[in-house]
Amino acid sequence: MSCFIIVRGPLGCGKSTIAVALAHKIHGHVFSIDDILEKHGLVHEKEAGYISQQSFFRANEIAARTAEKTLKNRTPIIFDGNFYWRSQIENLEQQLPFPLFIFTLNAPLKTCIERDKNRKKTHGEMATKVVYQKSTEFDAGILIDATQPVEKCIEEMLLHLPPFQN
């Protein structure tokens, strides 16, 4: 079955680590929304102090073009990003006529700050706090406790996903 999955949550909660591990487990492909925003210079337009919804819509459009081809080949896609605008999720869902599964990763702010400090490219405590505040304004899909080991997160996600052929 072909479907796309959104792994969302605050900066430092483990989205990328979990998205990559999930992709490996289900033989899927990961699209990093942050990488698309950076590569295409979409991080500068602001709205209420955050990257604008329009920038995310453009990132979705760029990702969806390639993702649709991959999905048609029956390869699941995992989108890794904060998805702190609900409209970004709705926009991506409109662009891809495939089943969608959403997982929101939860971790305390303190955990996110510590994880950010331990990565190669840190964003800083202030950025972590700001993104945390915005990305936790709403929940979407299935909530996953991102303080548990990665493999436990993956196991929990697989309970909510269709079976994938290996």
What's the pLDDT tens digit per position in 103-160? 999 999 999 999 999 988 899 999 999 999 999 999 999 999 999 999 999 999 999 9
The answer to whether the beta carbons of residues 77 and 99 sit under 8 Å apart is no
Domains of the chain as residue ranges with CATH: 4-158 (3.40.50.300)
Helices 109-117 and 125-135 pack at an angle, to 10 degrees, of 140
| Band of residue 3 on the pLDDT scale cut at 50, 70, 90 | very high
Mean pLDDT of 56-69: 95
Helix, strand, coil % (nearest 5) of the chain? Answer: 45, 15, 35
- In the predicted model, what is the mean pLDDT of the chain? 95
| Both tokens assigned to 135 | 């990305």
Distance CA 114, CA 63 (A): 30
The tokens for 153 are: 């997160």
Q: Residue 120 corresponds to which tokens in the numbers above?
A: 């190669």
- pLDDT at residue 165 above 70? no
What is the distance between the alpha carbons of residues 7 and 105, in angstroms, rounded to a whole number? 7
Tell me the per-residue pLDDT of 91-102, one tens digit each, with 9 for 90 and over.
999 999 999 999
Q: Is the pTM of this model over 0.85?
A: yes
Distance from C-alpha of 117 to C-alpha of 123, rounded to nearest angstrom: 8
Tell me, what's the pLDDT at 41? 96
Q: What CA–CA distance (Å, rounded) separates 4 from 30?
A: 10
Q: Is 80 helix (H, G, I), strand (E, B) or coil?
A: strand
